[in-house]
Structure 1
């Protein structure tokens, strides 16, 4: 058979397939998603393809958590963004600039240890800080009022004061870590809800939660803490954080007022009697730049970041604060170390520490040189306590410490991170895009959206916010170096109300109050990070488990919504999951 005959046969076959596709034979043609992108499809608007708005959404699905937003490129900030990216992606050391920090104690040696591929932390079976993807922070708090061995008092519910708020489990030799990881014990326990972890159609689901204990002997502090418990909080994805920062706090107030009509809100955030923000909802930044009048003055901003809503802007929030206290990198607005006096006292009285400083510290080239003092046991003891407990140093202490310990050239400001580098880091952080939505043309995804709204899930997972004017707050460092990415006139779809709610889960988050986590982009977690666990401590390994934890207790703010999901058919449950993974 010659080539001409073959070509004729292929043409006839192709024509038959084309005809069959339009006939009753129902040969399915798979839709090309690109034919639908940025167009209204089913119950989705055209805008919903871009959860971060046109200025905040990346269309590159691979490596999408780390992509710059279109605003970065349009506003001429791409090169600065890439420079800032370096400070997230590098591992820090004790001695090499510009990625120097860590000593004398630290939480992690790099940002991606907590945020693997820029995403959510991964579930762990043991606590080891140097495991890539372990985004867990140890939340250690008192269970009752009491008095320490040194006579100081503590209150139930407060963080223990003996270690830092983000407890450190790594230290520079010969110092011992504030918490010895060998004394941290983690196990996963099973929980059973009122339905016996089984849907009416017989499909089962699993509910597990972490239980963590820390031996008192594991604390290298004087005194050692008493009457404490431990909870885990895992990091969330960093992408789109700048867009959340851009949401106007007046809009947040309207949302809180709306939620307060139906639910009791955290009194630390909302004054129910006055129907407005509580005084503790504000964070005051001294000498910042007020967008209202363009002057340097004290600026009040409403807290919106972290599960506990403890941070108000990115410059004091998930990135700027963490680059200091996680890796212990000092800079011009963070001269001092992230340590505690209880740890400083323990190290100053540890004979093995004193002996090693006497052995190594005489040399000006040694990292232990700042602690050597006059070389006597007493001199070393006093110097160790003075430098390790340097939480509120005098200017003289700062000068001595920066000259001897940091050992950074004067032209770099004697800081481990220069102001220019910190500015680049903030351009990067505020410039991270949100991945484009996927499969919105899929009928199952459209059905899932319909059910998500009908069940009332949007009461907490508010779909969209409109940013009219991005009132970005400028710290003095950023203001001196340039502009930050802004997102004016954008509608974004994060699926969060930025309100704290209570779910009453067993071994719940410390205070019981947890900010609604944005859902955008989470369906790509397995692709980007290799894991897809959800909720504040990674207790849910699937979307279904996360939903059913919302209704574990009848007191939960989301109990009724969860019961509606429980009664759905298998097909409809799958549709809800498909929708959540698509947005």
Structure 2
């Protein structure tokens, strides 16, 4: 079906009323209907109008990818790498081999159901589909990750090895929480709040030494659609936002040095809750396709493991007997920095074309009267102080990693609407995120989470089961806005939720 026909079908289905805006495209004007810039959440080059009312809304390619036959073919190949399992073995004739020796998941989609956020879970089992939880095991005194485990601790291993953390020793308990308002709005409407308490029995940690003085938190995977558009924002634009926020008294102490990445370039952080990644090419996906599965490639020729785990495995007499190797041989092989690549360069390039080529679903129902009312209220109570509505991308000329430079989709000078300042703030929640600082999650497309992932959970550990709970968990720098939200009528609160569901 032609794009023109798809867009007409979308407009008819959504019941658009005519709009007037000079930013509308000529193609839209030809149909007698004009869409303002906000409908194009990812800009004209990064927004999809295809299947926005289906479970595959997050899975579509950007227009710039669709219009390039070679790039679209690479996108489809990259998608298969995301969706299919990696398996044990090194047979060059078998697809997607090389899993392990220790790993977090055996596929990417296991953590990102429907390409969205992970679901809230009552237990930690890597093989439970939709469990996007990553364990965060950190020192209570320093907030640093414990050195005995990887930053994303693994709970699976290839026999005869034992997992660094045995899932049987992980306990997740969801506890009720009553806030200072008694979980009640001034008009009498009530809400419920819950939060996770996570523990790991040290007897189920297979490292030498075992970590001590540690605490555990959960972090859920983020939605991956539209990350290429965020990547296209110029570094200087991020720095200007840092300066603006700091002048307002926000983000104090969280504006530090640029991040030096694997390709040697430096950039301000924009990805992960911790703002630990500056570009997508060195960021979450590029890193995760290696460290989640521990599948090596030409620029990652080592296992994603720690010396403490390798030591425990190499000293295990059962493992020595089953492998018929000495302690020294096992340790040396596990810790080698020059392993054979298990993922080809071509596959990695296709994966990154897919990753950067994922579109953002178009906004829905923006001309609805209640949605418009909710937008005005959202703006008036100060939510946009952190959930910055729009950005303009830069020239988008990435010149870092030579393996992918010049081969990826580009989105120059697009107005995009992620509703995030891409900075960290303190929300002061019970059992807070590690360090207490969390990047503002982009809100675009989140209203489609239920239909795409089967769950509408929110926040870094998915503790909020709906928008109201998510808002009421906000404290710290957002507390003034929460106070204003509480003072709204129920009709106004519902309108804010309706607006959030539409963007």
Determine if the TM-score, normalized by the shorter chain, exceeds 0.5: yes
Instruction: Report whether the alignment pairs 1:168 with 2:154.
Output: yes
Deviations 1:133-153 (A, max 9, x none): 001110001113xxxxxxxxx
Deviations 1:520-553 (A, max 9, x none): 00000000110010000000000000000003xx
- The partner residue of 1:71 within 51, 64, 68 is 64
- What is the CA-CA distance between 1:216 and the residue it aligns to? 1.1
Structure 1 counterpart of 2:193: 207
| Partner SS for 1:113 | coil
How far apart are the structure 2 equivalents of 1:421 and 1:34?
A: 42
How far apart are the structure 2 equivalents of 1:35 and 1:355?
A: 69
- What is the CA-CA distance between 1:330 and the residue it aligns to? 0.5
Q: Assess if the C-alpha contact under 8 Å between 2:390 and 2:416 holds in 1.
A: yes
Q: Assess if the C-alpha contact under 8 Å between 1:87 and 1:425 holds in 2.
A: yes
Q: Assess if the C-alpha contact under 8 Å between 2:154 and 2:164 holds in 1.
A: yes
Structure 2 counterpart of 1:470: 396
Q: Assess if the C-alpha contact under 8 Å between 1:81 and 1:424 holds in 2.
A: yes
- What is the CA-CA distance between 1:48 and the residue it aligns to? 0.7
- The partner residue of 1:107 within 90, 104, 107 is 104
Instruction: Report whether the alignment pairs 1:314 with 2:284.
Output: no
How far apart are the structure 2 equivalents of 1:505 and 1:330?
A: 38
Structure 1 counterpart of 2:365: 439
- The partner residue of 2:181 within 174, 177, 195 is 195
Instruction: Report whether the alignment pairs 1:580 with 2:500.
Output: yes
- The partner residue of 1:504 within 396, 416, 428 is 428
How far apart are the structure 2 equivalents of 1:339 and 1:426?
A: 24
Q: Assess if the C-alpha contact under 8 Å between 2:261 and 2:282 holds in 1.
A: no
Structure 2 counterpart of 1:385: 331
Q: Unaligned 5+ residue runs, structure 1?
A: 1-30, 145-155, 271-277, 287-297, 359-371, 373-379, 403-414
- What is the CA-CA distance between 1:174 and the residue it aligns to? 1.1
- What is the CA-CA distance between 1:477 and the residue it aligns to? 1.1
Alignment of 1:121-140 (within 5 A): 121-140=118-137
Structure 2 counterpart of 1:292: none
Larger radius of gyration: 1
How far apart are the structure 2 equivalents of 1:80 and 1:474?
A: 20
- What is the CA-CA distance between 1:34 and the residue it aligns to? 4.5
Instruction: Report whether the alignment pairs 1:351 with 2:317.
Output: yes
Using the size of structure 2 for normalisation, the TM-score is 0.91
Using the size of structure 1 for normalisation, the TM-score is 0.79
- The partner residue of 2:484 within 561, 564, 567 is 564
Alignment of 1:74-85 (within 5 A): 74-76=67-69, 77-85=71-79
How far apart are the structure 1 equivalents of 2:159 and 2:330?
A: 13
How far apart are the structure 2 equivalents of 1:233 and 1:105?
A: 20
Q: Assess if the C-alpha contact under 8 Å between 2:273 and 2:438 holds in 1.
A: yes
Instruction: Report whether the alignment pairs 1:535 with 2:481.
Output: no
- The partner residue of 1:98 within 95, 98, 103 is 95
- The partner residue of 1:282 within 246, 259, 271 is 259
Structure 2 counterpart of 1:295: none
Structure 2 counterpart of 1:49: 39
Q: Assess if the C-alpha contact under 8 Å between 2:302 and 2:335 holds in 1.
A: no
Query: CA separation of 1:32/1:338 partners in 2, compared to 1, >3 Å: closer, same or farther?
Result: closer
How far apart are the structure 2 equivalents of 1:304 and 1:213?
A: 30
- The partner residue of 1:484 within 404, 408, 411 is 408
- The partner residue of 1:219 within 195, 205, 228 is 205
Q: Assess if the C-alpha contact under 8 Å between 1:263 and 1:557 holds in 2.
A: no
Q: Assess if the C-alpha contact under 8 Å between 2:259 and 2:277 holds in 1.
A: no
- What is the CA-CA distance between 1:468 and the residue it aligns to? 3.8
- The partner residue of 1:182 within 165, 168, 180 is 168
Deviations 1:189-244 (A, max 9, x none): 11111110011121111111001011111110111111000011001100000000
Structure 2 counterpart of 1:8: none
Alignment of 1:416-455 (within 5 A): 416-455=342-381
How far apart are the structure 2 equivalents of 1:476 and 1:182?
A: 43
| Partner SS for 1:137 | strand
How far apart are the structure 2 equivalents of 1:135 and 1:284?
A: 25
- The partner residue of 1:327 within 288, 293, 297 is 293
How far apart are the structure 2 equivalents of 1:56 and 1:178?
A: 40
Deviations 1:131-178 (A, max 9, x none): 11001110001113xxxxxxxxxxx21111111111000011111101
| Partner SS for 1:476 | coil
Structure 2 counterpart of 1:36: 17
Deviations 1:476-511 (A, max 9, x none): 2114xx521001121000000011100010100001
Structure 1 counterpart of 2:27: none
Query: CA separation of 1:168/1:557 partners in 2, compared to 1, >3 Å: closer, same or farther?
Result: same
| Partner SS for 1:319 | helix
Q: May I ask how many residue pairs the two structures share in their alignment?
A: 475
Instruction: Give the superposed CA RMSD.
Output: 1.8
